[in-house]
Amino acid sequence: MIGEFPTLLWIERPDKITFPRDENGDRIVLREPAREDAPPINLNTYVSQIIDDGIAYLTIFYGFLFDGITKFLRGMLSAISSVTVGTPWPITMGVLLWMAYKMAGLRVTIFVAASLVYLALFGFWQTAMDTLSLVLAASIICVVVGLPLGIWVGKSQRGHAIMTPILDVMQTIPSFVYLLPAIAFFSIGKPPGILATVIFAMPPMVRLTALGIRQVGESTKEAALAFGANPRQLLTKVELPLALPSIMTGINQVVMMSLSMVVVAALIGAGGMGYIVTEALENTETGRGILAGVGIALLAMMIDRVVQKANTTRQ
């Protein structure tokens, strides 16, 4: 009683739920009551079983929805991979260096060139481009979904009240927990890895977008309204341009957190550089794992330097 907290609540076992097929081949819900002499269970086991039954119901009766999402993610990733992985490496490297020079200048371009040479010399080029495809796919989804949510949170008290606890939970739950619903609904592979990465990396995009919107001065908005701006013009021509530095910081954070999730997502078949790290961990190949980890760090630093320098130059 003193050394361990006692179980104060015991619950009757719920019905055992299965989903067999009827004579027509359609799935049905079949409930089988627990045995009369079955012992009661605690609250943890009871709620866990309810969650498992709910997930099983959704995956069986709404599998077409999850299959559609998986198909969309595979198509999106294939389109990005055809550019990053399918393009010959001299062209890809040249384009990346040209973009770095145009966006961030000569000094950052030299750093990007050194990082790409490291990846190529140590044989990480293909896996690095595969990782870059995953990060780009996850980042695009985070921006497309997170930007409207951030605008809603920044302009609406109700949106702020609803999204704040959700974002708090998303940012505090351990990253491995995101893999559980991804596997339950989408099996293993790259699509669930992208979705787990999106859930992990989206909160900074929403928070920093909302912060930028809220930091726009009231006098500035009143002046725009006095000159006849409607709500749409106020948002697109005043609030978003002034909030752009904060939004760019959010995009930068999304990319960094997506790369940090690469190793975890590799545990469910996402592949890329994370797979090399996890494989080295399983086989105790310390040197190979360190080299792959340095490659992931260089990818992150490359993107971070380019985005930060481009943002500073634009300001």
Q: How far is CA 70 from the centre of its chain?
A: 15
| Amino acid symbol at 104 | A
Please indicate, yes or no, if residue 146 is contained in any of the structural domains. yes
> Within this chain, do residues 43 and 161 fall inside the same structural domain, yes or no?
no
> Within this chain, do residues 26 and 124 fall inside the same structural domain, yes or no?
no
Domain count, the chain: 2
Please indicate, yes or no, if residue 142 is contained in any of the structural domains. yes
Please indicate, yes or no, if residue 3 is contained in any of the structural domains. no
Burial of 287 (0-12, 13-18, 19+ CB in 10 A): exposed
> Within this chain, do residues 297 and 211 fall inside the same structural domain, yes or no?
yes
> Within this chain, do residues 19 and 71 fall inside the same structural domain, yes or no?
no
**pLDDT above 80 (res 7):** no
Interstrand relation of 16-18 and 41-42 (parallel, antiparallel or unpaired): unpaired
Distance CA 271, CA 249 (A): 27
pLDDT in tens, 39-76: 888 888 888 888 888 888 888 888 888 888 888 888 88
pLDDT in tens, 146-171: 999 999 998 888 988 998 898 888 88
| pLDDT given for residue 148 in this prediction | 92
Strands (E), 24-92: 30-32, 41-42
| Amino acid symbol at 175 | S
Distance CA 192, CA 134 (A): 11
* Domain termination residue (choose one: 61, 78, 99): 61
**pLDDT above 70 (res 307):** yes
> Within this chain, do residues 169 and 213 fall inside the same structural domain, yes or no?
yes
Q: pTM for this one?
A: 0.84
Q: Please, which residues bridge with residue 10 across strands? A: 42
> Within this chain, do residues 150 and 281 fall inside the same structural domain, yes or no?
yes
Please indicate, yes or no, if residue 96 is contained in any of the structural domains. yes
> Within this chain, do residues 105 and 181 fall inside the same structural domain, yes or no?
yes
> Within this chain, do residues 117 and 46 fall inside the same structural domain, yes or no?
no
Cα angle 161, 165, 166 (rounded to 5 degrees) comes to 110
Instruction: Give residue 37's domain range.
Output: 10-61
Please indicate, yes or no, if residue 215 is contained in any of the structural domains. yes
**pLDDT above 70 (res 314):** no
- DSSP of 153-186: HHH-HHHHHHHHHHHHHHHHS-GGGGHHHHHHHH
> Within this chain, do residues 177 and 240 fall inside the same structural domain, yes or no?
yes
| pLDDT given for residue 207 in this prediction | 92
pLDDT in tens, 260-306: 887 788 888 777 888 888 888 888 888 888 998 888 888 888 888 88
Strands (E), 2-52: 10-11, 16-18, 30-32, 41-42
**pLDDT above 70 (res 22):** yes
Structural contact between residues 177 and 120, judged by C-beta atoms closer than 8 angstroms: no
Q: Please, which residues bridge with residue 27 across strands? A: 21
Q: Which of 204, 289, 315 is nearest to 252 (CA)?
A: 204
